[in-house]
Structure 1
C-alpha cells in the first residue's frame, strides 16, 4: 500500500462560502467571539485566541458551501514531497506547491478530494501572539463535519492519502477521523449529497462553553441543539445557525487519543449516546435541515475537468 503523502499536524483553518458575508462577519466577530484580522469587499479573515493567523475565512458566494480546509504541515520540503506523491497518485492539484501569496503567507499546495472539496496543506504561515481575553470566546477551529455521498470512499481517501486515522464510528452513518491526539478533526456523515455539515470551535473549558452560550442568548441567539455532550469524542456541543444558515458549534473537552491504547469503537445511534448528559434531546428537523446544507460540487462546479481526474 502506498504511504500517505504527508504527516498532518493539525487542522488550521476553514474557508466558508457564504451568501451573507457582511452579516456573517458581524455575527462571528460581535456575537460568536472571533477577532477581525482583515476585511474586504468579498469576505473576511477571522482569528481565535490561539496562535493561528486566522481560523475562519468567509468568502462571498451565490450559494453556501465549503471553500477549503487547511491543515498545518511541518516544512516546505514536506509540501514539495506531498505534491510529488499527489501527482504519482493522480490527485488533481489546483495550486502550488510554492508560496501562496495569500494573507497568511506560507508555502502550500492545494488539491481536490474525490467529491470536489479543496484541501490545502500549509507550512510556514504567519503565526500570531496568543490572546488573553476574559470573555468566553473560541480558541480556534477544532473540527469540521462533512456530508458525503459515499462514506467508505471518503474515509479511504483521507486515511490512505492524508494519513488520518479513524477514531470511532457512529454505526455506518458517521466516521470520526483524527490527525493528532484530538479524537477528530474531520468527521464524515453519510448523506444524500456532498455539503459542509458544520464547523466546530473550541472553547477552553466547560465553563467557557456555557458562558459562551449565555452570551449568544443575550444577543437573542438560541441553540438549535444543545447544550449536551456527545458519546463519540466525549465533547460538549451546542449548535447554532449563522446569518447565512451555516451551522457553527461551540465545543469543549474533546477526548484525547493515546495511539498505543486507543481502540476504535462502533457507537449505536441512540439518544443516550448522542447526548450522554441527556440535556439536549433529539436533534430537531430544523437542525437536521441546516446540517444537510445544499448540494455542493466544490471545485467541480468551476472546473468540471477535475471531476474525471479525481475519479481515476
Structure 2
C-alpha cells in the first residue's frame, strides 16, 4: 500500500505571498498567528512553524501588488525533479526555469512552472531541514502547514489538471444545487488534502491552513487571534470532508488563514471520493457550533483577483 504520488511529489512545503502592507503582515504572522520569523532579507521575510522541519512555511514579499507568489511542494529526490521537469515540458507545461540549485533559504534542488490557472508552482528536493521541536501542551502555535485552498472559476478543469498532470488524487467533493461542484479536496500523500480547489469568481487564494497540536491548543489559538481583534470569518467547527476542525480569519491583507487540527489521514489507497451536499448542515460543520455558511462568509474567501497569473515572482 503506497500513498506516494506517482511522480514523487511528497508534501506541501510553503506558501509564498506578496503583500503591499509588508510590515503589518510581518507583525501579524509573528505576533498574532504564532509563527517564527526565521529570517528577513530585504523585502522578503521567512516564517517557520516551531513543530515543522521545513525551513519556512510562509514567505512574505513586499510588493505593490497583492498576489500568490508561489505554492511549493517537496519531491523525493533530484532524479524525480529532473524526470518530472522533462515530462512537464514535453506535455506543454510552461516552465519558469530548468531544474537547478535553489537560491532560497535551505537551498535544495528544484524548478518552477505555471499551473493551468497561471499560479507559479515550485517542486524541490534536498532542502535542508531546520531544528524543530515538539509543541507542548496548551502551546497555541502552529505545528505545521496543513493545506492550501485555491479559488478557480473552473474548478473541474483545475482538478483534472492537478490529477492528470501532477498526479494528485481526489479525496472528496463539496456540491451545491445551484453552484454544482464547489470544492475538490486533493491529496499527494496520506493526508486527506494538501490542496483543495474552490469555485470562485476568479483565480486567487481561498485560504491557507495551519495544523495545531490538538483541540485544546486549537481553541486557545482561536481565542488569542479573536482577542487580538482579527476578523473571524467562520468557526470554530468541524468539517465533514477531512473531519478537521476549522476557524477562519482574515489576515491584514485580506487573505483567509485557518487554524485546524485532526485532519483525516487515509489508511487505504482504495479510497472512494464522496460528494457532500452543502445544503446539509452536517457537511459544513459536524459540531453545529459555527454559523451556517452564507454568501457573506463565502465572499470573504473569494479574495481579490490574483495579479500574478502567468508572471513568475522576481525571487
Q: Is 2:233 aligned against 1:224?
A: yes
Q: Secondary structure at the match of 2:30?
A: helix
Q: 2:68 aligns with which of 50, 66, 69?
A: 66
Bigger shift: residues 106-115 or 289-298? 289-298
- What is the Cα deviation at residue 93 of structure 1? 0.6
- What is the Cα deviation at residue 204 of structure 1? 1.6
Match of 2:148 in 1: 144
- What is the Cα deviation at residue 272 of structure 1? 2.5
- What is the Cα deviation at residue 51 of structure 1? 0.6
Match of 2:292 in 1: 282
Aligned Cα RMSD in Å? 1.7
- What is the Cα deviation at residue 232 of structure 1? 0.9
CA distance in 2, matches of 1:63, 1:198: 18
CA distance in 2, matches of 1:187, 1:259: 20
CA distance in 2, matches of 1:25, 1:31: 10
Question: Are the aligned partners of 1:5 and 1:82 in contact in 2 as well (CA < 8 Å)?
Answer: no
Match of 1:153 in 2: 157
Listed one character per residue, the Cα deviations across residues 193-239 of structure 1 (whole Å, up to 9, x for unaligned) are 11111100111211111111122233233522110001111100000
Match of 1:53 in 2: 55
Listed one character per residue, the Cα deviations across residues 123-181 of structure 1 (whole Å, up to 9, x for unaligned) are 01110121245421101211111111211211111111111000001021110000111
- The change in CA–CA distance for 1:287 and 1:64 in structure 2 (over 3 A counts) is farther
- 1:8-157 maps to which residues of 2 (within 5 A)? 8-49=9-50, 50-134=52-136, 135-157=139-161
CA distance in 2, matches of 1:71, 1:37: 19
CA distance in 2, matches of 1:302, 1:219: 34
Residue correspondences, number? 300
Q: Secondary structure at the match of 2:299?
A: helix
- TM-score by length of structure 2 reads 0.90
Q: 2:196 aligns with which of 163, 181, 187?
A: 187
Match of 1:251 in 2: 260
Q: Which runs of 5+ in 2 are unaligned?
A: 176-180
Match of 1:294 in 2: 304
Q: Which runs of 5+ in 1 are unaligned?
A: 304-312
CA distance in 1, matches of 2:85, 2:269: 30
CA distance in 2, matches of 1:300, 1:241: 26
Q: Secondary structure at the match of 1:216?
A: helix
CA distance in 2, matches of 1:302, 1:213: 34
- The change in CA–CA distance for 1:272 and 1:190 in structure 2 (over 3 A counts) is same
Q: Secondary structure at the match of 1:38?
A: strand
CA distance in 2, matches of 1:259, 1:19: 44
Q: 1:197 aligns with which of 187, 193, 206?
A: 206
Q: Secondary structure at the match of 1:292?
A: coil
Match of 2:170 in 1: 166
Listed one character per residue, the Cα deviations across residues 26-85 of structure 1 (whole Å, up to 9, x for unaligned) are 111111000011113313100002111000001122232211101010111111111110
Bigger shift: residues 106-115 or 60-69? 60-69
CA distance in 2, matches of 1:96, 1:153: 26
